[in-house]
């Protein structure tokens, strides 16, 4: 069994891009894009490119250090610690921004890739398709559980053997509620569910 977790709002107690926006004083524009993306009103690749255009001019090193301070749900982190070799984080967010957070999670992590020069994001190279990671592990013969909360998690959930919509930080997107096998609204319920699978 492999457990694939979305990052923002599923493992973290806050969405990461609004935290970056608050730190660099560009809150309103990012907040609106994030809200519309989570609910599925704007396709993730379009919204993400727009948000990176706004936030990419700020230092990558400062952003990574900032995100490393975002709290993660402690009981889910404990589950990951116990099942580290079977837990994978998949995020559309940029790997260069999330490196500090990935170090804290201490498991296999996949993210979108960017070209970085002079500590700034120059351009997005690839936006992670979470469903590709699901299929990678299924092709190796693993049963895959996918846990996420946003509309951009829907394809990965469709490809997974078991889908869990997480409502810990945000209400799960309607697209996930339509296809998931389970819903969890707190970390205790989510962890008990994961242990029971």
pLDDT by residue (tens digit) across 112-139? 999 999 999 999 999 999 999 999 999 9
The gap from C-alpha 94 to its chain's centroid, in whole angstroms, comes to: 10
For residue 62, the SS3 value is helix
Determine the pLDDT at residue 33. Answer: 80
Helix (H/G/I), strand (E/B), else coil: 88: strand
Q: What pLDDT shows up at residue 167?
A: 95
Question: Containing domain of residue 27, as a range?
Answer: 2-196
- pLDDT score for 113: 96
Question: What was the pLDDT predicted at 162?
Answer: 98
pTM for the predicted model, two decimal places: 0.91
Q: How many whole angstroms separate alpha carbon 9 and alpha carbon 65?
A: 18
Q: Which pLDDT does position 124 carry in this prediction?
A: 93
**What is the rounded distance in angstroms from the CA atom of residue 193 to the CA atom of residue 66?**
31
For the chain (197 residues), the mean pLDDT of every run of 10, in chain order, is 96 90 86 76 82 88 96 97 97 95 96 95 94 98 97 95 96 94 96 95
CATH code for position 89: 3.40.50.1000
- Model pLDDT, residue 82: 97
> According to the model, what pLDDT value does residue 64 have?
95
User: How many independent structural domains does the chain possess?
Assistant: 1
Surface-to-core class of residue 153, CB atoms within 10 Å of its CB (0-12 exposed, 13-18 middle, 19+ buried): buried
* Residue of 134, 44, 128 lying closest to 88 (CA atoms): 134
pLDDT at 73: 97
């Amino acid at each position: 069994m492999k457990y694939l977790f979305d990052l923002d709002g599923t493992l973290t107690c806050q969405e990461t891009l609004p935290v970056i926006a608050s730190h660099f004083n560009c809150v309103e524009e990012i907040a609106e894009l994030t809200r519309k993306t989570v609910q599925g009103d704007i396709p993730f690749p379009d919204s993400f490119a727009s948000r990176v255009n706004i936030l990419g001019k700020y230092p990558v090193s400062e952003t990574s250090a900032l995100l490393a301070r975002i709290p993660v749900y402690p009981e889910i982190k404990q589950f990951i610690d116990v099942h580290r070799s079977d837990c994978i984080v998949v995020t559309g967010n940029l790997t260069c921004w999330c490196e500090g957070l990935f170090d804290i999670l201490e498991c296999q992590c996949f993210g979108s890739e960017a070209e970085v020069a002079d500590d700034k994001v120059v351009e997005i190279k690839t936006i992670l398709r979470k469903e590709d990671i699901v299929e990678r592990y299924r092709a190796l013969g693993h049963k895959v559980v996918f846990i996420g909360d946003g509309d951009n998690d829907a394809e990965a959930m469709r490809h997974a053997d078991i889908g869990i919509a997480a409502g810990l930080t945000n209400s799960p997107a309607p697209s996930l509620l339509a296809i998931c096998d389970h819903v969890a609204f707190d970390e205790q319920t989510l962890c008990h569910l994961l242990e029971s699978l």
